[in-house]
Structure 1
Amino acid sequence: MFVFGSSLVDSGNNNFFPNRAQVNYSPYGIDFPNGPTGRFTNGRNLVDLLGELLNLPNLIPPFKDPTTRGRRIVYGVNHASGSSGILDETGFISGNVTSLSQQIRDFEEVTLPELEVQLGCNSSDSLPNYFFVVGVGGNDILFNYFLGQKYLTVDPQTFTANLTAILSQRLQKLYSLGARKFVLTAVYPLGNSPLVELNMPNCTVLCALSINQVAQTYNRNLKSMVEDFKRRLPASNLVVIETYNIVTDILLLPALKGFTNTRNSCCEVLSQTQGGNGALCERGGRTCPNRNTYVYFDGLHPTESVNIQITNEAYTSRNLFKVYPINVQQLAQL
């Protein structure tokens, strides 16, 4: 499995270079065996859980870790960087982190040659057997389009169409290198996150609704892109995890899914007066007593409990509202 994207799938790359989007401190990782690792949640993230369901023998290591070399890379490498986006500029807005385009260059120029050495074969022979997980887009919408006030000059349809077009180019690059099995994540209902609801007092209900509408527009474009990909690129197979719909189901009927709190962050978040933006946990701050019943761990990222529900739906659901057009288990059998 090779991983690209932002904080929802980052396993610690941001720990290894200076940036403003690091979570290598408590209470992050409070429920993870190794403690804080740079994962933006209390425990395992989507990629960890997918790896378990696919019976991978170990966690996918972060690219930036100097020890991610040699035999450590043969089951995959995680290139994702928290706060990054489809657009290069998104990373500069929210943390000066590794953009999606740079992640793919790192894969092509560093990971791929070393993988060929380790496996003793050309990438065109080996890469069709790997999953390419790409979880990105939310930062472009929330931080670039809305907080960066790009909405004042660009309409949502144009902005999201541009995002999808650029993402398509990035995926086509991976395809040209040999990738054939893609798992893409839709964008969450960002307007419902504590960051927006509780830490952006100037954002009214109408504002939160607008954020969700842009996310939904992007998600529709993503499904259209998948259909276009399948028509144009032979042997490509793409799965979209409909995270927007899965999380919305939890928010609408939390008790049915085992949750009691859908509005608040489980951890104490850094407010604007403390130099934060309501997204990340306060260093060493308190957490809620029962993290399994909270939807959000910090102001933006879900708890491990939500990640488990998303991953289980992605892996086995036959509901096109949850995963499209096939599930990850079916993709693994192709």
Structure 2
Amino acid sequence: MATKRPASRAPQKTSGSSSAKKRSGRPGGRPAAAARSGNPAAASRATARDWIAGARLRTLSLAIAPVALGTAVAHVNAGADILIAVLCLATAVLLQIGVNYANDYSDGVRGTDAQRVGPRRLTGSGAAPARAVLTVALVFFGLGALAGLAVVVLSGQYWLLLIGGVAIAAAWFYTGGRRPYGYAGLGELVAFVFFGLVATVATTYVQIVDAPLDAWLAGIIAGLFAAAVLLVNNIRDRGQDALAGKRTLAVRLGDRAARILFAVLIVGAYGVLAWFAALYVWAPYVYFTLLIGAPVILIVLLARTAAELVLALKLTSLAALLTGLALAAAIAF
């Protein structure tokens, strides 16, 4: 009997701990891998390569493309300000990296990443302490905020501090906080708004204090690609997210509808590109990026394995970057 009493008490303790975590907004508690090992030293095994991978460098295309597009529109309308453009790029890239580490931290402590099919995460795998990942995320948010503050000071548009604050809050509450909107299926919409419209139009505005139609349309293209990148990532993780209670748009729509929506987003981006193709002599050549965009639609529609969807994610990020840079060049020159 003495050997059975600890076993009967253990589930009660685990249940109480789980309740406490749910009340605190961290229902997953300690990362699964670390919990299984029972060895705090296991959380110190992350290498420099792991930390670089945690930055998810391929997603930086979502930060680079809108800044390039916004600067190109500013250039043809009243002349670009290179210093402000560089600071806009630094702001976007630093915040994007901050988002990636914050997402790693929040999903890890919630237990969402306990059974991933893609690359392992620092927190969820137990490779790094959750506190260390959170600290790195906050450092990048802080650096991004400083770069953004420099943009505001140089442009003299202090009201943009409010927009910057909202952008940082959106970055954190994607998977952080008690009710993350990424767990409610709103991630793609917010990605469209902030990595598309806000990033592109704001980049133009701080350089020429104007927001012409071309900036908004370019922002739509960047936003549709950003939403597509997030959607294909969530399609890959749909099964695991559903089990973890993460109700992404892919989970809410179901597999087939989510794949069709991905195709609509990509086709929509190339549809808006027609506006620029009619106005700028070099813009029609941007359609050469369909050599990537068209196959990736087929891959997503027909994919049966996680590996195929990982390939689609990489290709979508590449298409977003090349389309953004090519269109920026077509507009500017």
> In proportion to residue count, which structure has more helix?
2
Structure with the larger RCO, 1 or 2 (CA within 8 Å, 6+ apart): 2
Q: TM-score, normalised by structure 1?
A: 0.29
> In proportion to residue count, which structure has more strand?
1
Who wins on radius of gyration, i.e. which is larger?
2
